[in-house]
Structure 1
Amino acid sequence: MTHVHPTRDDRVVAAVSEVVGGPVGDHAGRHRWWTPTRVLLLMTAVVFALGIVQKAPCSLAEGKDQNWVYSHMCYSDLRPLYVGRGLAELSWPYSDDTETRNRYQVMEYPVGIAYWAYGTAWLTQKIDGSPDVDARADRPVTELSGDKDVDRELTIFVLVNAAGFALMALAAGWALSRVDRGRPWDAAAFALSPTLLLTGLINWDLISVALVALALLAWSRERSVLTGALIGLGAAVKLYPLFLLGALLVICIRQRRYAAFGLAAVWAAVTWGVVNLPAYLSGAAEWKVFWSFNADRGPDLGSVWLIIDQVRADGVQVHTINTWSWLFFGAWCVGVLVLGLLAGRPMRNRWSRSSPGDPAETPRLAQLGFLIVAGFLLVNKVYSPQYVLWLLPLAVLARPRWRDQIIWQAGEIFYFCTVWWYLGGYLQPAGGGDPGFYWVGIVVRMACELYLVVMVVRDMLLPHHDPARDRPEVVPGSGDDDLVERGRGVADPHVDHVAHGRHARAVR
């Protein structure tokens, strides 16, 4: 075996494998073409294709009201934003033209999404025969929404984006399968994720997901500049990839790799600035809308603040939410920093500064990144259903155990159902009042997320519980003897992989 096989490493997979003959044997061979990465890419493609089918009713059905969309749980932001943000007229998202701004709202997303949406709208219209967009400017926006030609474009727009998202999902699956060369099958929890199927087409989040996965791969190969550039690019699409710099800081302090962190941070800032510059120069006021929109929004879907706002007679002020959410998140980050600096070290050496930390003791980037992003989502003012994708690539590497992934994603699926029932009014009590069952959905989601947080923290404090600390048994001379060091990408020819693998199983 040149890598850890899930049927011999994970009890859930081992139990399921009994249907097809049980765990892989000691003398199992390798297929010449079907490598683990290729199998994982096929899995990702199939799951994402099913996700397109799941969203198809809302793109193809005619004459259905909004509640029908919610009841079928196939809503996507792509359709309403095509006309509502001027993409049907190919209006530049950051145009400061008075007439354009009077007709359309500014894109409330970071620039990376605005660029992608504008580019796919341009490609959509090229595919559809380049309609006369100037003539559309003379018609009311409400009239455009009911136009048959525009409706046909909408379907093409969704399909063009779906093709792009599929490439992003495949890129993420490929990257995750290669972060740890000894454990490619850990990426299967991403490839077969029901949350990927259900939420992949709701918004543009898969772009940042792919960039985060590629950043994890780049760091595992000790490519600090590339890691920083990918983080900066991801932060230009969604802000949360920026939190990976905090995880890198912990690792670099532990290993005294200050130059590596400096390079990553500088290139993240430079890349983010370069990507944002065209938008800022073409419309500074429009560029600022993303920041003001998020600062001014009140308690929204899926957040604990929504429960507090609906429970309290006088609600909760935006300023109060902003203050307390940032205070909590700041304290959470300090806790992750302390945990990351102490985790994995023997008790007597936890506060020692005499020597750099052993890479084998240092928490992994996926673990630290998962904890930081999870803390942010727990106190954020909104938790849209697709935000589960932010955690997905980090979670599957942070805790590569199917039992824990199933528990966590089950909570996310339950929330996915309740949020659409809530928006459709199906959870409204017959006697009036607030929909308390939706609160249950929020609490269950948070509880399952916290469960996975606890498991990751335990792995960091007690590394012998961490599945990714185990090494596969490598056949000498197979060409795979120089498997990558856990989380660092440094070959260690002095490690006896066979003995280490046996010892790890004995500990378990």
Structure 2
Amino acid sequence: MTRTTEAPGPRAAVVNGLIPYVPLGLLASLGAILAYYWKSACRFGGAWNSGIDQYTNFCYTDIYPLWFARGLNEGKIPYIQGEVEYPVGIGGIMELVRRLSFGDAVRFYDITVIIMGVSLVIGVLCMAALAGPTRKWDALWYALAPAVILSAYINWDLAAGALALGGLLAWARERHYLAGALLALAVATKFYPLMFLGALFLLTVRTAKWMPFLKMLGAAVGVWLLANGPVMLASFDGWKRFYTFSSERGVDWGGLWFFFQKYQWGVLADGEHLNLMAMIAVGVLLLGITILTLAAPTRPRLMQICFLALAAFMVTNKVWSPQYVLWLMPFAVLARPKWPSLAVWQVTEVWYFFAIWLYFVGMDPNHSAQGIGDGPYFLAVWARALAVIALMVLVVLDILMPDRDVVRVAGIDDQAGGVFDRAPDRFVLFRRAAKTEAS
């Protein structure tokens, strides 16, 4: 008698597909908990309310002081009654948590942390799915890297990360309307995921997969308008505060422009033309990424272009806060999952994390002996910037020499690319010229 095995039903298939991700979810939860307890001196010891102690204990967060500074403690609604310098996604989270906090600042912080912790877990799981079954453990970098644990709850960045990674996972699964919706919500929460729309556009030009891209873009525009429209109508001045603040903002902590102005590096120290210089700098880098994407002998992977575009945006930005490591971590790993270079970069991120708070201590005349001055601080600034630039160079080399790319093994092309995966080239720069020269 022959025994037959029935194929699992749809529900069983889904469950079997999710089981391998359970350990990653648990480890991401551990990372979220460790990040919470890292701030124990502030959350449980009261360092938030005693000036310099929040820096010497390295537990500073924007979340707690903005409860007071933006009038949330007085019941003010973001944008309409209180000024908020963030996109509407963060303002919406602030308003939701304000309503759940019943006037308590610590409860406001705790509930926000729960939302950010869940966002970290979701982001890790999405990253693992983008990496694919053979490389899903690469997502541990996002779950447990020291720089992630140190920086997780400085601001609301993890929410944008979960939305962006979810949107890119939807693209990889060819759910193009969902991809557009999630990416739009990501951009409405933090501005940086706009770089990923550019990466999708460049690979669309190369492959001519226009219909999926246009579906994604249409959904993105519609959802962005739905998210922003009510606030724009209720208080346009409050809504545009983020954009006004971003354009008027001068040099700030962590950015290379801050170094140039501090040490008066000629034209680079010209604060009057800072916005123009920053735009030119990022424009030049993005132009280089465009040429690379359209001219590389083998089509780059989507995660490689996402990483390069985001890193270009960060290196040339007017401010480079310590929590921005949360932006870059998933994409650096997905672009180039080689631990030595990632570990070196992480050392510089941790170095900068401690340096910025000690720099603040050093600026206090009553505690300057406990802190650091310009020299040690800017050494950390440059170490981090050069580490990111080095990662960019390594990714470019992987694109130009795809045999170096550890992701492209066993016949894998671009498993996170969705319709780009194994798609033939339709437009490649310089190919015709190369053929003419060869003939």
TM (norm. structure 1) is 0.74
In the TM superposition, residue 83 of structure 1 has moved relative to its aligned partner by 1.4
**Matched AA of 1:154:** A
In the TM superposition, residue 490 of structure 1 has moved relative to its aligned partner by 7.0
Give % identity. 34
In the TM superposition, residue 485 of structure 1 has moved relative to its aligned partner by 5.8
Aligned positions of 1:332-343 closer than 5 A? 332-343=285-296
Tell me if the contact between 1:208 and 1:237 (Cα under 8 Å) persists in the aligned partners: yes
Which residue among 415, 421, 428 is the counterpart of 1:486? 415
In the TM superposition, residue 363 of structure 1 has moved relative to its aligned partner by 1.4
| Compared CA separation, residues 89 and 254, structure 1 to 2 (3 A) | same
Cα distance in 1 for residues equivalent to 2:189 and 2:363? 33
Name the Cα RMSD after superposition.
2.6
Cα distance in 1 for residues equivalent to 2:326 and 2:421? 33
SS at match of 2:407: helix
Tell me if the contact between 1:388 and 1:412 (Cα under 8 Å) persists in the aligned partners: yes
Cα distance in 2 for residues equivalent to 1:89 and 1:189? 40
Aligned positions of 1:52-451 closer than 5 A? 52-62=36-46, 65-95=50-80, 100=81, 106-125=83-102, 153-179=104-130, 180-312=132-264, 316-343=269-296, 345=297, 361-425=298-362, 435-451=374-390
Cα distance in 2 for residues equivalent to 1:373 and 1:397? 13
Tell me if the contact between 2:363 and 2:373 (Cα under 8 Å) persists in the aligned partners: no
Which residue among 13, 16, 23 is the counterpart of 1:39? 23
Any stretches of 5+ residues in structure 1 without a counterpart? Answer: 1-31, 126-149, 346-360, 473-482, 494-508
Tell me if the contact between 2:62 and 2:155 (Cα under 8 Å) persists in the aligned partners: yes
Tell me whether 1:452 sits opposite 2:437 in the alignment. Answer: no
Cα distance in 1 for residues equivalent to 2:77 and 2:274? 33
In the TM superposition, residue 47 of structure 1 has moved relative to its aligned partner by 1.3
In the TM superposition, residue 330 of structure 1 has moved relative to its aligned partner by 0.8
Cα distance in 2 for residues equivalent to 1:435 and 1:492? 48
Tell me if the contact between 1:181 and 1:484 (Cα under 8 Å) persists in the aligned partners: no
Cα distance in 1 for residues equivalent to 2:420 and 2:226? 35
* Greater gyration radius: 1
SS at match of 2:252: coil
In the TM superposition, residue 492 of structure 1 has moved relative to its aligned partner by 9.7
Cα distance in 2 for residues equivalent to 1:283 and 1:60? 37
Cα distance in 1 for residues equivalent to 2:97 and 2:76? 13
**Matched AA of 2:293:** G
| Compared CA separation, residues 236 and 76, structure 1 to 2 (3 A) | same
TM (norm. structure 2) is 0.86
**Matched AA of 2:24:** L
Cα distance in 2 for residues equivalent to 1:87 and 1:201? 18
In the TM superposition, residue 317 of structure 1 has moved relative to its aligned partner by 4.2
SS at match of 2:362: coil
Tell me if the contact between 1:205 and 1:386 (Cα under 8 Å) persists in the aligned partners: yes
In the TM superposition, residue 458 of structure 1 has moved relative to its aligned partner by 1.2
Tell me if the contact between 1:206 and 1:389 (Cα under 8 Å) persists in the aligned partners: yes
| Compared CA separation, residues 438 and 258, structure 1 to 2 (3 A) | same
In the TM superposition, residue 487 of structure 1 has moved relative to its aligned partner by 2.7
Tell me if the contact between 1:93 and 1:107 (Cα under 8 Å) persists in the aligned partners: yes
Cα distance in 1 for residues equivalent to 2:362 and 2:51? 11
**Matched AA of 1:440:** L
Aligned to 1:506: none
